[in-house]
Structure 1
Amino acid sequence: MKKAELVFIPTPGISHLVSTVEVAKQLVDRDEKLSITFLIMKINFDPKVDRFIDSVSTACNRIRFIHLSKYEPDPNQPNNFFVSLIESQKPSVKEEVSRLVSRSESSPGLPTLAGLFLISFVHP
């Protein structure tokens, strides 16, 4: 069976990240051919998030993290924060997913993208 990769895009914040990483750990523990990449949307500097990512990266080599460009909220639209955040990150997500697909197509030993999960309470 070929190696597979899942991409998770959690809502920013430590609580969403911790719970989603716990699910990812369970998945990779059950299947040695599975790897998971997290696309991390950063809205501000949170040392807890960075420390958590560092500890998971050290403990599990089949879970990795890619930081998307930092989101700068529009002060003129404070009521549309999550919609604006997701819309602003679409180009970065497309770029990273395209990079993952191209990489797996050019290197047969690398995992193939098998799924993309947006973990969010808000969907535009």
Structure 2
Amino acid sequence: MKRAELVFIPSPGFSHLVSTGELAKLLVNRDERLSITFLIMKLPFDNKVDAYTQSLSSSFAAGRVRFIDLPVQKPAGDQPRPRGFLATFIQTQKPHVKQAVSNLTESYSGPDSPPLSLTCFARP
């Protein structure tokens, strides 16, 4: 049976993570060949994310869904306007996302490894 690994990168913030988590539940429950890795961009002031990822992780069979927390990094410079904050924050996360995807690619490089499929839910 051929397996596939999906990589989800939800937009920062609790609400995006919840909707992406619900999508993951549907997919994993529908097809046992799928597993999903979330790359989590944590906002410095969002404290609900850890509790949600722990509860979501415990609701799945072991190894089917996992979470990788990217480093929390505040944007440099002056405090941007609220609209500019999210775009700036996502820009600071791009190198961390690139490194995490590179690490995943290396760990799945064997002949029996499932193919990776990357899905980004964040606006650039």
Structure 2 unaligned residues grouped into runs of 5+: none
Larger helix proportion, structure 1 or 2? Answer: 1
Give the Cα separation in 2 of the matches to 1:45 and 1:38: 20
| Contact 1:35/1:111, CA 8 A, preserved across alignment | no
| Contact 1:41/1:71, CA 8 A, preserved across alignment | no
Q: Which residue of 2 aligns with 1:64?
A: 66
Q: Give per-residue Cα distances to partners, 1:73-114, cap 9 Å, x unaligned.
A: 2342503222211221111111111111111113x444320x
SS in 2 for 1:54: helix
Look up the equivalent residue of 1:94 and give its one-letter code: K
Give the Cα separation in 1 of the matches to 2:15 and 2:26: 17
Q: Give per-residue Cα distances to partners, 1:33-70, cap 9 Å, x unaligned.
A: 10111100012253321111111111113111000010
Deviation, structure 1 residue 13: 1.4
Q: Which residue of 1 aligns with 2:49?
A: 49
| Contact 1:12/1:40, CA 8 A, preserved across alignment | yes
The ranges of structure 1 where at least 4 consecutive aligned residues each deviate by more than 6 angstroms after the TM superposition are none
RMSD over aligned Cα atoms? 1.7
Aligned pairs (5 A) from 1:73-112? 73-76=75-78, 78-79=80-81, 80-106=84-110, 108-112=111-115
Structure 1 unaligned residues grouped into runs of 5+: none
Using structure 1 for the length normalisation, give the TM-score: 0.86
Paired-residue identity, %: 52
The number of residues matched between the two structures is: 120
CA 1:59–1:7: 2 relative to 1, 3 Å: same
